[in-house]
Amino acid sequence: WLGLIGQFRPKKLISAIKTELQSADELELPVFRDAAKHFLDKSLYSVALATQLSLSPSTSLLWSTERQGEKKVNSAKFQSFASFQSNCIGILLPDHDITLDAAWPELFMDRKGKYWEVPESISLDMSSLPSDSGLQYHFGIHKNSGHPQAFNALDGEAPSALMPGLCAKAAFSYQKSKDIWRRKETKEDLIIKTDKGSYWRPSYDVRLREPHAAISGIIGGTCTAWFGKGSKNVESQSEDNIPTTNNKRSPLSADFFGSACYTFQHGQFRKLYGDLTRVDARLDLSSLSSFAKRIFKSSSANKSLSSPRLNLIFQQQVAGPIVFRVDSKLLLDSKAGKLGPHIEDVIYSLSYSLRLLRSGKVVAWYSPKRKEGMIELRLFEF
């Protein structure tokens, strides 16, 4: 398939026309003519072309290129994805995904919601598919070229993982979940009998069809090796408009992480009102070594890694397939001299579930902290 995407910036156009009209002494025809010329400003427009070629049911190639009017350089992205299960390669690597990604440039978002643009990013990853045992692993090689630029911020320190270099990564995790209680879906739930007859009434979303309370946990480890001259330290740069960092980057590092989650859901999400209330609470610890150093050595370094994070998700049915949702991320640490946890990010969203797609929905969300919003069509949400 082939897709063409266009973008237009009306806020910038309105601001330019407003400035043009306010600076004019008299509103004559030449003034309106100059104001109309702003419609031809290339910086107001962006265009992107994307194409995907399916080589087999489990292998596909994706290529996209984008041209922004305010930039002279085009951006491009290539992705090759293969899932091996039953073919000849699948005999040697059963139930694995292999992905090759390359982008010029590529956008990354750090923990604070800031976007960083890396001039060149190439990665090759192999990961195991989810299994009943709960064990998963991931291997990858990643290479960054050029210095990252802050995309939506004027200051800040770029993450050391985005600085130039070649690294090899390996990770494993073990996940287990247990239901405290769960009400299974029955035929009586699907078929409703009335005076006019019986009719089929499935849940608006198959993932939300069973009320339950459950706990789950995940524990895992990571290992990273950096190669090249810049593997020991990330040196500060003196060039203009290049973020500097003095973070030390060890050539070889290993760490452990873990999460604990509790989920409670009331309702089957099939009636018109009051049939869905769900709360998800997950506590994440991204770096066990940083957390241990902070406790036993009273070290204040790497607060973003050593501090636990609490993710809270609240969902409430408004009417029929419409659901209001709040996603919040809390850092359990002090900030700017203030004691106690503080909010890192919060997202408000309103979704309309599409029953015919089983788990498809139209979602409109907004993040006040990042001042970012979007309307999305999600065909299936895991």
Q: Name the residue ranges covered by the structural domains of the chain.
A: 1-74
Q: What percentage of the chain exceeds 70 in pLDDT? A: 85
pLDDT by residue (tens digit) across 280-317?
A: 999 999 888 888 877 777 655 556 667 889 999 999 99
For every residue of 68-121, DSSP letters joined together read ETT-SS-EEEEEEEEEESSSHHHHHSTTEEEEEEEEESEEEE-TTS-EEEESEE
Q: How many CB atoms lie within 10 A of CB 232?
A: 12
Per-residue pLDDT, averaged over 228-239, amounts to: 50
The pLDDT of residue 376 is above 80: yes
Q: Evaluate whether 238 touches 185 at the Cβ level (below 8 Å).
A: no
Residue 241's pLDDT is what?
Answer: 42
Residue 181's pLDDT is what?
Answer: 96
CA 83 to chain centre: 22
Residue 154's pLDDT is what?
Answer: 63
Greater pLDDT, 44 or 171: 171
Residue 323's pLDDT is what?
Answer: 96
Nearest Cα to Cα of residue 253 among 165, 147, 144, 145: 165
The Cα 122–Cα 108 span in angstroms is 13
pLDDT by residue (tens digit) across 249-265?
A: 778 889 999 999 999 99
Residue 53 is given by DSSP the state E
SS3 245: coil
Per-residue pLDDT, averaged over 234-247, amounts to: 46
**pLDDT band at residue 122 using 50, 70 and 90 as cut-offs:** very high
The pLDDT of residue 237 is above 80: no
**Average pLDDT of the chain, as a whole number:** 83
Per-residue pLDDT, averaged over 237-250, amounts to: 51
Per-residue pLDDT, averaged over 103-112, amounts to: 82
- Cα Rg of the chain, angstroms: 25
Greater pLDDT, 160 or 234: 160
